[in-house]
């Protein structure tokens, strides 16, 4: 089953779908460092390009489209400008790509899987989300389903709520439920590295800031050594307060997470493995894992999508 991956980043969605038996034949991102990491880990290299300028005719035919389109326009951490933000309009580029496949290739992709932040559902009082589903349903002709999935329900100790939109071209698909959850068998402390370099430990000066409860009108309790991590964010390198980022205690004192631990919290590695290649700087790695899709969740969705495609006889068509 041929998959095209948009906004692939470092391949969280891609790995989840590949592990479920899908074949990613084309992937794209405009961040050169993310593409560097992606290409160090996947057989089919990602194309480095701005998708808004990339010729539609150069995108090969595909059966399934996946994409974690940029979340900043809808995120609670941003200004929630939605479609007013140029990044928000990238959803319309997704629609153009699908429409081109249908009208110019005679190829209607069998499934579309999109991922974004939970706040997408409530942005602009729900109008943004309604418009997205209207385009997918009315203009492109898909059966559209949506759900909120939390990474901690799929085997990794990280609270990370994300909206998934799953679409099928086959009208026989009348329902699609959230993938079954699984038991969480380990905590954040179980995936920590040992003999961690001194650079990850906090100085007394920065520790005071990190452990403060907030300033001005913003106040939140600083907590460390959580069994289930807070959501990893793209700006982890800046070391926010412990009410925003994750900090753990080891023999040398309090420290931030390492990039490898972030890889484990996002499901790219197991709790004690280090197979995923990280060829970039720590700063870029934190950004990449903070922006990534949790592999475990992507894989759970991919397995359910495959089941539906098998049920409708489209998997081997």
**Contact between 287 and 302 (Cβ < 8 Å):** no
> Residue 71 catalytic?
yes
254 CB-near residues (< 8 Å, 6+ apart):
201, 202, 207, 210, 211, 224, 247, 248
Given a contact cutoff of 8 angstroms between Cβ atoms, the answer to whether 161 and 119 are in contact is no
Q: Which of 8, 71, 233, 262 is catalytic?
A: 71
Q: Show which residues are catalytic.
A: 71
């Amino acid at each position: 089953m041929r998959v095209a991956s948009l906004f692939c980043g470092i391949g969280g969605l891609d790995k989840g779908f590949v592990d479920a038996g899908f074949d990613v034949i084309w992937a794209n991102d405009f961040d050169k460092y993310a593409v560097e990491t992606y290409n160090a880990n996947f057989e089919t290299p990602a194309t480095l390009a701005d998708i808004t300028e990339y010729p539609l005719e150069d995108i090969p035919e595909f059966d399934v489209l996946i994409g974690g389109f940029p979340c900043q326009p809808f995120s609670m951490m941003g200004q929630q400008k939605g479609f007013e933000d140029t990044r928000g309009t990238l959803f319309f580029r997704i629609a153009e790509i699908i429409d081109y496949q249908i009208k110019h290739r005679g190829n209607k992709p069998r499934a579309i899987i999109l991922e974004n932040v939970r706040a997408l559902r409530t942005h602009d009082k729900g109008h943004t989300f309604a418009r997205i589903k209207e385009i997918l349903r009315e203009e492109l002709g898909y059966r559209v389903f949506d759900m909120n999935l939390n990474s901690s329900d799929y085997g990794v100790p990280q609270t990370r709520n994300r909206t998934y939109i799953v679409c099928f071209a086959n009208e026989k698909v009348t329902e699609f439920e959230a993938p079954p959850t699984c038991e969480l068998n380990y905590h954040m402390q179980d995936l920590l590295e040992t003999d961690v370099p001194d650079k990850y430990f906090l100085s007394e000066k920065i520790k005071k800031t990190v452990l403060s409860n907030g300033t001005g009108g913003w106040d939140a309790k600083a907590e460390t050594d959580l069994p289930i991590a807070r959501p990893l964010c793209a700006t982890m390198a800046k070391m926010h307060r412990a009410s925003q980022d994750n900090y753990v205690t080891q023999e040398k004192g309090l420290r931030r997470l390492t990039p490898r631990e972030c890889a484990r919290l996002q499901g790219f590695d197991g709790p004690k493995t280090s197979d995923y290649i990280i060829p970039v700087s720590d700063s870029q790695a934190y950004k990449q894992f903070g922006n990534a899709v949790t592999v475990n969740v992507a894989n759970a969705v991919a397995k359910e999508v495959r089941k539906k495609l098998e049920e409708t006889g489209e998997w081997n068509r």
